[in-house]
Structure 1
Amino acid sequence: MTKSERALRQKIIDLCLEMNRSGLNQGTSGNISARHGDTMLLTPSATPYDQMTPEMIVTMPLGGEDGEWHGPLKPSTEWRFHRDILRARPDAGAIVHAHPTFATTLAITRRSIPACHYMVAVFGGNDVKCCDYARYGTPELSELVLAALKDRAACLMANHGMIALGGDLDQAMWRAVELETLAKQYYYSLQLDGGPMILSDKQISQVLNGFSSYGRQFERNSD
């Protein structure tokens, strides 16, 4: 294992710990992956984050057979959508999946998040879509997630949780935090008389154009 690969593996563990400290996730229900050459580095299944070591992070070939993996522990049961996203999205270098309270609450009601705030544009368009339901770990879920992520850098998963993509681990985590913040704002706005006022496509397009020169965190992901 090279020094750079070990650092990437440790970064995955550090962000898993951060997810739980911040309340973005609970227990071992979330998982994080990162592209490493022609492989994917992924958190192992059912392993407490505070017990993980870099050697426990699973390696999966992006071009390998279904389920092929290397390491002392089995990969997360959600390995399939991580692998399929990285295969389909060359712009994605990392993926954060978690079950944060507000994003998951909206996903339980199968609601997409509309342009209730201009920050929806950090995910690439005028909404964050909620994909339909399929059981965790299945090819069907992977297909639904990929469809919801078309031209987007995040999605909700019906009766499940959320996914955020980034060019690297830091950007993916930043987007995951932004998504839960947006979900919380949208949830509370639904409780008020009249509900949220939704920005127009033109207004969101202006925001997207502004983000293009604002900084790398705001770079738009696209297919």
Structure 2
Amino acid sequence: MLETLKKDVCVIAKRAQHDGLCKHKSGNFSARDPETGLIAVTPTGLDRDEMSPRDIVVMDLDANVLENESGLRPTSEVLMHIALYTSRPEIRAIAHTHSPYATAFAVLNKPIPAIVYEVANLGLTKARVPVAPYARPGTPGLAVSVSQAAAEADCILLEKHGAVAVDSRDIYEAFLKAAYIEELAELYHHSLTANAGAEPDSFPQEELQRWAYPAEIKFPNR
């Protein structure tokens, strides 16, 4: 069931670990099939170096496990994934990471401002990566907190916890957003350090919304 989706989720979960976005058994990933509405989600308590597509769990949005070939349970934070898919039906994939710089700002409960223009592609509406207020991992409270923050942005910090990125295309794009969160957080940290703690300049949302592919580039037969 959902074999291609399970393979994609497994590949990205492994890549996220190898790229340092999450270590050991932390973080979780999922993707939603647009035809059935079912989701493929990483299991709990399994080192990703040992993970295979058959370990990915298939569920519905009522939290029913429909397939777990290897007998593993889905991530304990699956309620957060379900809440995001339910509150924003266009979402196709979710990446939840514990990358160090992003998590440091999550610990500080400090949103990350749009200090570089590349954040124009991160689905922000207030020129920042917001922080979802703390709730215990795995609880309905966390699911509510994160889904409310996702009404503002595709990229979110979870207070005292980590980061989440969502995307309406696929798991690879959600992973890229999670990677950009960490890169932005590292740049912000270095900027604050170099500037003796003073806030660096950042872009207003109006400027971010002005970006467009250059009309001056010409293609044949068009």
TM-score interval w.r.t. the shorter chain? 0.7 to 0.9
Within a 5 Å distance, the mapping from 1:174-185 to structure 2 comes to: 174-185=176-187
Measure, in 2, the Cα distance between the counterparts of 1:95 and 1:212. Answer: 30
Structure with max Cα Rg: 2
Matched, 1:23 2:20: yes
The answer (yes or no) to whether the contact 1:24–1:99 under 8 Å persists in 2 is yes
Within a 5 Å distance, the mapping from 1:33-182 to structure 2 comes to: 33-36=30-33, 37-62=36-61, 64=62, 67-70=63-66, 71=68, 72-124=71-123, 125=125, 126-166=127-167, 167-182=169-184
Q: Once superposed, which parts of structure 1, at least 4 consecutive aligned residues long, lie more than 6 Å away?
A: none
Q: Percent identity over the alignment?
A: 31
User: Match for 1:163: what amino acid?
Assistant: V
* RMSD over equivalenced CA pairs, Å: 1.7
Unaligned runs of 5+ in 1: 214-223
Unaligned runs of 5+ in 2: 216-222
The answer (yes or no) to whether the contact 1:26–1:99 under 8 Å persists in 2 is yes
Pairwise CA distance, 1:157 = 0.3
User: Match for 1:34: what amino acid?
Assistant: A
TM-score (norm 1): 0.86
Pairwise CA distance, 1:159 = 0.4
- Work out the number of aligned pairs and report it: 205
Q: Secondary structure at the match of 1:181?
A: helix
TM-score (norm 2): 0.87
The answer (yes or no) to whether the contact 1:121–1:127 under 8 Å persists in 2 is no
Higher share in helix: 1
